[in-house]
Structures are given as C-alpha cells and as structure tokens.
Amino acid sequence: QSALTQPASVSGSPGQSITISCTGTSSDVGNYNLVSWYQQYPGKAPELVIYEVNKRPSGISNRFSGSKSGNTASLTISGLQGEDEADYYCCSFAGGGISWVFGGGTKLTVL
C-alpha cells in the first residue's frame, strides 16, 4: 500500500479556516468511509480528531470537521488558534483483511 498524499505544509492566521487534503485511491479512501485524522504535537503521541470521515470524538472542538469526495478526504479547521499548530495525519482503512494506510503528514503553522 502506498501512503496517502497530503500537502507537506499549510498555514493560516488566527481566526481563519484552513483545509488539509488527503488523496488516496479507489482501494482505500475511495472505497471506505473509514478515514480518520490525527493531531500530533512534537514529541507527543498522536490524538484522534476525526473518525469515519466526519465524526468527532468526545472532547474534540467542533472547529474540526471532515469530509470526503471520491478518493480525496479533507480536514477543515475553522477559527484557527495558536494551539492548532501541529502535524496532522490522515489515515484510511485499506481492506485486504485488516490494514491501514497513513498520509505523509501536514505541518500546520498558525501565523
């Protein structure tokens, strides 16, 4: 399985909205509504922020939202805050029994 494709970096000013794309194939993102997104601060473990394309775990701000169209999933963060500056990874179930594929990660900078 090849990694999902994410932009290496995105940036935005406080209060703005940004969107991170995640492009896969018809074997993963396009075939399952099982895309998840993770936020990771330097030196820390990742944290789940979106699952099943657009669901938020308990405790995650409603500023985080997810969507999918065809083979591309997206994470949108609205009302950017300084604390949102982190790395973000998408992940998709990839079938073949049980397997997952991650994106390469996107570094979000809040200007």
Partner 1 sequence: EVQLVESGGGLVQPGGSLRLSCSMTGLSLRGCHMNWVRQAPGRGLEWVSYIGSGGNIYYADSVNGRFTISRDNDKNSLYLQMNTLRADDTAVYYCVRDQDYAFQSWGQGTLVAVSS
- Interacting residues toward partner 1 by CB under 8 A: 1, 3, 32, 34, 36, 38, 45-48, 51-52, 55, 57, 89, 91, 93, 96-105
- The first and second tokens of residue 33, run together, are 């509504």
* Of the candidates 43, 46, 42, 74, the residue with the CA atom closest to the CA atom of residue 60: 46
- The first and second tokens of residue 41, run together, are 């601060």
CB-nearer residue toward partner 1: 82 or 96: 96
Q: 9-12 and 106-110: which strand pairing?
A: parallel
* Of the candidates 111, 110, 109, 105, the residue with the CA atom closest to the CA atom of residue 21: 105
Nearest approach in angstroms of CB 45 to partner 1 is 4
CB-nearer residue toward partner 1: 38 or 64: 38
Nearest approach in angstroms of CB 79 to partner 1 is 24
CB-nearer residue toward partner 1: 59 or 82: 59
